[in-house]
Structure 1
């Protein structure tokens, strides 16, 4: 009466093997990024709206980082950025090409590292299009404010390569031969030698400029 028992147990073991097939290893989820953003985006860029803002981009295939530099009078860019330089870091993720802009602001005279959500929405062979939050709020302890206005996103365009050279000054008009020397207008023209230099950073309690675009405000 005890002999059929091993056969029954063996059948149960076989049924268990059939019911539990080998699992196929699951890889990481695929990324969903705009067309063209899978290419390596490393190189030099300038801001279309303000060519004085120059960027150096590094791309390891997953993370793209851009560091803000400034143009020198000779047409080059500043050297190694300091610890307070504005940086943009975005990752290729299943939710998009997303990350943050890191900058240094001030609250009641205290330096505060601040972050602005940022994403890349388009990658062309010669440009990158970014969207970033325009402003953020921190308290006097540099902590994110518990309340604040709804975030407003602005679009920025960075073009690959250095900006085009500015046109040279035109030769002054000497006037008709019989007019004699022309009086110099002491009030004409600019008093600062041309276009204003870019804002190198936020002022105490004022606006913090994002990379070359409209100024996000801290409140």
Structure 2
């Protein structure tokens, strides 16, 4: 027997998405305290949906809950980035290869790439890039594989947000995205998967040049 996930109440979902967006667009900085009373006042809700939203965000790795410090935005360092992107290196190229082999639609990847190219700021670009990568692996035909990648998706976006604030490398990454999609649309599964692996593997090396020991991300 399978059980459907319990739906998140609408107010909690609203607060969750608002806090997530603020984190992934650098409106809330890594290490910043997330005070329930302040957030409740900001969103015009009680503390309960704020508390539930923070618990959910802690589960996705964007927020850290501490008995003494309360909730804070997760800090990003080379160790955290390597862990997140190591998972992506292992799973995402294979998921793309399967998407291409199954002739899955890549229309959403094309649309996300166009949004990224026309983005007015790095926040909009970061969210579009996040959608681009998801559109590549979602048609892989294995829901569990897609869910595993979804679980690290927000943390990967947080790493990108922090890295771009130091070294804005999105033009290079945009060119790599275009090449990955070109190969995928040409149905060259091996070359597309290889290009995606290289793209992921180069990101943390550029973002943390003094700390990375061979592993990487995008």
Higher helix share: 2
Q: Relative contact order: is structure 1 or structure 2 higher (C-alpha 8 Å, sep ≥ 6)?
A: 2
TM-score clears 0.5: no
TM-score range for the pair, normalised by the shorter chain length: under 0.3
TM-score (norm 1): 0.20
Higher strand share: 1
